[in-house]
Chain A
Amino acid sequence: MTVWWLRKKLAPPAVDNRAFDLLSLTTGLVLGVHAPHLPWWLSIALALTLGWRWWQRRQHGSRLPRWLKLPVLVLLTSVVIAYYGTIFGRAPGTTLAVGLLILKLLESETARDVRVGVSFACFALMTALLFDQGLAATALVALGLLPALATLRALEPAQPQTNLSRTLLPSLGLLAATLPLALLAFLLVPRLSTPLWGAPSPTEAQTGLSDSMSPGNFTDLLTDDRPAMRVNFDGAPPAPDQRYFRAYVMWNYDGRSWRYVEAKNDGTLPPAPIEAGAAIGYRIGLEPTHQRMLPTLDVPLAAPAQASLQPDREVLADKPVNAPLSYQLQSALRYRLQPTLDDRSRRLGLRLPVGFNPRALALAAQWRQLYGSDDAAIVRAALSLFHDGGFRYTLAPAPLGRDAVDDFLFDTREGFCEHYSSAFTVLMRDAGIPSRVVTGYQGGYWSTIGDYLLVRNSDAHAWSEVWLAGHGWVRVDPTAAVRPARVELGAAAAAGDQLGWYRNDWMQGLRNHWDLVNRWWDQGVIGFNALRQRGLLSPFGIRDTDTATLSVLLAISSVLFVAIGMAWALMRRQPRDALRVTLRELERKLARKGVVRQSSEGPQHYLSRAARAMPGRRNELASLMQCYLELRYAHDEPPPEPLQAFQRAVRDFRAVDVVK
């Protein structure tokens, strides 16, 4: 038996070790989820500080000297400024926040400090989602809430002592119980159609297609396994060798890199005329690229909303894609693009910098002599050169010199798509055939379960288009000549064993299935934007759910949840004493006629009084009383049959008016 004494209230005491351990754990988790984008040396320094502080308090239980705080704070701020140049912005801001959280731990002694620390940790956990809002990252961050809530619980006095892992369980229960409410709020909180203040402008180099291509700059992209986009086809998916997704069309070559130039008088130039075959409809879910270019299946027939079709049949969005974007459009797989070439395009398609790649020029002249005016034969000659000339597909080619194409064609003979497409296009221009480089994606993983095509960043590809009289622009993929597997099976197969162990078959299978879950997350949670929210109630016949309706819905459902919660909170364990319940029933019947049981009255006294007040029921009441006393006091547990008889008698009892 424990007895608690009332004591004088003292100054807030230092928190116990349990709460401090949990706070340290929370802080450690925050540091863990932020570690990927902090400078590595800062992560290590902060982790060491955290570990040292935990050890120091555990060993000595002492406060840190006050004078230490200011220098450490100044040190942290200057480190952030030295590294990032500013303390504002996403990356420096979060770095500073994580550092401050660790510093807060240094001075955490009282319950108030710990509460401030936990609040700040929750905020820091949220900022981790600004960097990555994938399913795994979100789950990890949500896991970080467990020790945070457990820390708050540990601050409360007088609670049962359990071990550290058990203390996390009630928080898990709390989060699980509130998940429906959280999901409902998530669905119904009105989204902003325009941001309140500036949206983040990530300055970090984003991997993804870029508007220029020079040999070697795809390497990062080709080893990046993150999804680039997902494609749903209205009908059957196109054959693997038809899965070319067009992004940038590049005309300009300066001897080293190809460059995309946006059409100057935007919108006035009409898209190139096309004679299209059967159209195929599809929907693309694009991951944020922070660029305006929208990849489309080669070649698109029209632009989706809030985007425009460029002269070379590229689709350019009006605004950079900073959030996952979904768009629907149609493409033709069989087409004749720009059957008649205007002079300006011909000039552009033949332009080469002067004084570069003399050997390639010589080779092209040789072909032109050989095949006369048969452009198609020259294209075939170039492809057979790549196929039979001892070329090798590798993601780690040797570096090239000033005459990059010459070096590649006649010396190194190794490279990947961008080397091949670049060399091929230069050869074609040397031979007098208008040509250009196109970058985009090719291939992808067809998920039979999800019925969609997953295109990763590593599926980035570059190919060429040559203009042949009577055919228009014809797609030619010189990489396919070297490594047909690249086109038929995808980038991973083409790379062979050049990729890490984690890209082998069964791992790839697991990763492809994992992507299915991620896709669900991306579509259901990340992609739930203002537009989708407005269509939330369309199954119920409401076309456009505006903010007011959403607010009303949110209020109604909150009230509903509060009602459920109140029902739970008010729920009481009823006494399982059937005899007592039956007596209560009798009391209620008598009380309705005015004979109320006093709290000082025993059953015998009360029922006798009732019998006096209702002479007409005297016998019944007397027998009920006898019955009750017998059941209550003659046995430890009332026997079932007499109990049922008593219950029946009480049910049948009819009270009469009291005789005054």
Chain B
Amino acid sequence: MRRLLQRLQSWAERRLPALTRYRRSENLPIEMHRRRIYIVPTGFGIGFSVLLMVMLAGALNYTNNAALLLTCLLGAATSTSMLVAFRTLNGLRLSHIRAGHAVAGQPIELTLTFDSTRARSAIRLDLGRTSTAFALDVSGTAYVKLELPTTHRGWQPLPRLRLWSSWPLGMFRAWSWLHPAQSVLVWPQPEASGPPPDAPADDTRHMRLHQGDELATLRDYRVGDPRRHIAWKASAHHHSLLVKDFEQPQSRPQWRLDWRQLPGLGDEARIARLARWLNEAQSQRRHYSLWLPGTEILAGSGPLHYAHCMSALAQLP
């Protein structure tokens, strides 16, 4: 039955986009407004309306005006709750989406930022079989995280999300589709095992011995920086937080990773091997450079460099 309904729904969305309120993907920020918020009664709402009808019939039949007044009061409160449900979504904005990093096959973490000009309660976000409820406080910002399953490397479009609320009485459900026109980059899956890269012999010319974790410089705080790296004393004199940037200690020779070193392999196999080498280089804290068809990344190290290289791999045709 459920599968039949799902098939019916997908057919309807294909054939009757206007009727099923299917929305094409759109650019951020997405703001909820009256043209895209739909309200339907919930099962409880329908049941309660039937009960109200029964109460109305009883009150009219027994010409009991106090009971009629009570029924009218409940009915009016019910219908007002519909407007409150609408108002819960109206004006809400999905302002941006930040994606984490993930290799193909692993779920990728997305952070959705919602903001509004006032506090709101009990808004829910559904994606497939997962769901959450969130609230916006007076400052009007909420961060909602979700994990999106991935299958293959490259740009992956975001799925359609359903935003809904049955606040305050649970009798009406105001809802809308969210379909951001944004894609997330999924990194390639590294191969499980294979040969190491042809590294030049441990060459002392490339050995730049550093005292480990020596403070190199101070830079502005970026989201994701570990809290223990924040230079609290220095930050006190500044407007913003400062973070201690450490030189990566280098005790290994530099790797030159090259697409051309891997003849005789298929494209995906080459990418998987390069990805594994990048992982190894990163975990061994090496300096490495990467050459790809159309892209050349000079030697470097650190998480940004790693992300740069992985993204370049992911975007290969």
Chain A interface (Cβ < 8 Å from any Cβ of B): 1-9, 111-112, 115, 119, 122-123, 125-126, 129-130, 133-134, 137-138, 141-142, 145, 149, 152-153, 155-160, 170, 174-175, 177-179, 181-183, 185-186, 189, 191-192, 195-197, 199-200, 323, 525-530, 562, 565-566, 568-570, 572-573, 599
Contact indicator per residue, chain B 7-44, by CB within 8 Å of chain A (1) or not (0): 00000000000000000000100000010000000001
Please give me the residue from chain A that is nearest to B167 by CB atom: A156
User: How far, in angstroms, from A7 to B170 measured CA to CA in the complex?
Assistant: 21
Q: Interface code B72-103, partner A: CB below 8 Å = 1, 0 otherwise?
A: 11111101110110110011000000000000
Query: Do A158 and B80 contact each other (CB < 8 Å), given the known contacts A149-B169, A525-B65?
Result: no
Set of chain B residues within 8 Å of A142, measured between Cβ atoms? 70, 73
Q: Using CB atoms and an 8 Å cutoff, list the residues of chain B in contact with chain A.
A: 27, 34, 44, 47-48, 51, 54-77, 79-81, 83-84, 86-87, 90-91, 111, 117-119, 121-125, 127, 129-135, 137, 141-147, 166-171
| Most central of B27, B83, B117 by chain A CB within 10 Å | B83
- Minimal Cβ-Cβ distance residue in B for A528: B65
Assuming the contacts A4-B143, A142-B70, asked whether A181 and B76 have C-beta atoms less than 8 A apart, the reply is yes
| B80 A156 Cβ-Cβ under 8 A | no
Q: Considering the chains assembled together, what is the distance between the CA atoms of A182 and B65 in angstroms?
A: 12
A196 in contact with B76 (CB, 8 Å):
no
Closest to B27 in A: A599
Q: Give the residue among A3, A125, A126 with the most B Cβ atoms within 10 A.
A: A126
Can you give 12 contacting A-B residue pairs, CB < 8 Å? A4-B133, A6-B127, A7-B131, A8-B129, A115-B44, A145-B77, A159-B135, A160-B121, A178-B79, A183-B69, A568-B83, A572-B91
Q: Which chain B residues border A189 with CB–CB below 8 Å?
A: 56, 60, 68, 72
Query: Which of B63, B64, B80, B132 is close to A7, meaning CB atoms less than 8 Å apart?
Result: B132
CB distance from B161 to the nearest CB of A (A): 9
A128 to chain B, nearest CB (A): 9
Cβ–Cβ < 8 Å partners of B131 in chain A: 6-7, 9
Contacts of B48 in A (CB 8 A): 119
What is the CA–CA distance of A569 and B86 in the complex, to the nearest angstrom? 7
Residues of A contacting B56 in the complex (Cβ-Cβ under 8 angstroms): 189
Chain B residues with CB under 8 A of A111: 170
CB <8 Å contact, A175 and B65: no
Which of B51, B59, B132, B169 has its CB near the most chain A CB atoms (within 10 A)? B169
Shortest A32–chain B CB gap in Å is: 16
- Which listed residue (A3, A138, A191, A572) contacts B145, Cβ 8 A? A3
Q: Which residue of B lies closest to A125 (CB)?
A: B70
Contact call A525/B83, Cβ cutoff below 8 A: no
Q: Besides the contacts A8-B129, A145-B73, what 19 more A-B pairs have beta carbons closer than 8 Å?
A: A5-B132, A5-B145, A6-B127, A115-B44, A122-B74, A123-B55, A126-B71, A156-B121, A156-B170, A159-B167, A160-B121, A181-B72, A182-B75, A183-B72, A186-B65, A189-B60, A195-B63, A569-B86, A573-B118
Residues of chain A lying within 8 A (CB to CB) of residue B34:
570
Shortest distance between the CB of B109 and any CB in chain A (Å): 10
Give CA–CA (A182, B84) in the complex, Å. 17
The distance in angstroms between the C-alpha atoms of A629 and B205, with both chains bound, is 54
**A568: chain B residues within 8 A (beta carbon):** 83, 87
Contacts of A185 in B (CB 8 A): 72, 75-76
- Please indicate the chain A residues that have their CB under 8 angstroms from the CB of B147 in the complex: 6
Residues from chain B with Cβ under 8 Å of A112 in the complex: 44
Do A141 and B60 touch across chains, with their CB atoms under 8 A apart? no
B316 to chain A, nearest CB (A): 29
Question: Once the chains are docked, how many angstroms separate the CA of A30 from the CA of B55?
Answer: 16
Report the bound CA distance from A191 to B59 in whole Å. 10
Contact B145 A4 (CB under 8 A): yes
**Separation in Å of the A156 CB from the closest CB of chain B?**
4
Across-interface contacts of A156 in B (CB, < 8 A): 121-122, 133, 166-168, 170
Say how far A116's CB is from chain B's closest CB, in angstroms: 8
Do the beta carbons of A175 and B55 come within 8 Å of each other? no
Complex contact A129–B64 (CB within 8 A): yes
B68: A residues at CB distance < 8 A: 186, 189
User: Within 8 Å CB of A6, what residues of B?
Assistant: 125, 127, 130-132, 144-147
Residue of A nearest to B51 (CB): A119
Q: Are A129 and B70 in contact (CB under 8 A)?
A: yes
Q: Which residues of B contact A3 (CB under 8 A)?
A: 111, 143-145
CA distance A139 to B90 in the complex (A): 35
Q: Is there an interface contact between A199 and B73, defined as CB atoms closer than 8 Å?
A: no
Q: Which residues from B are CB-within-8-Å of A528? A: 65
**Contact (Cβ within 8 A) B142 A573:** no
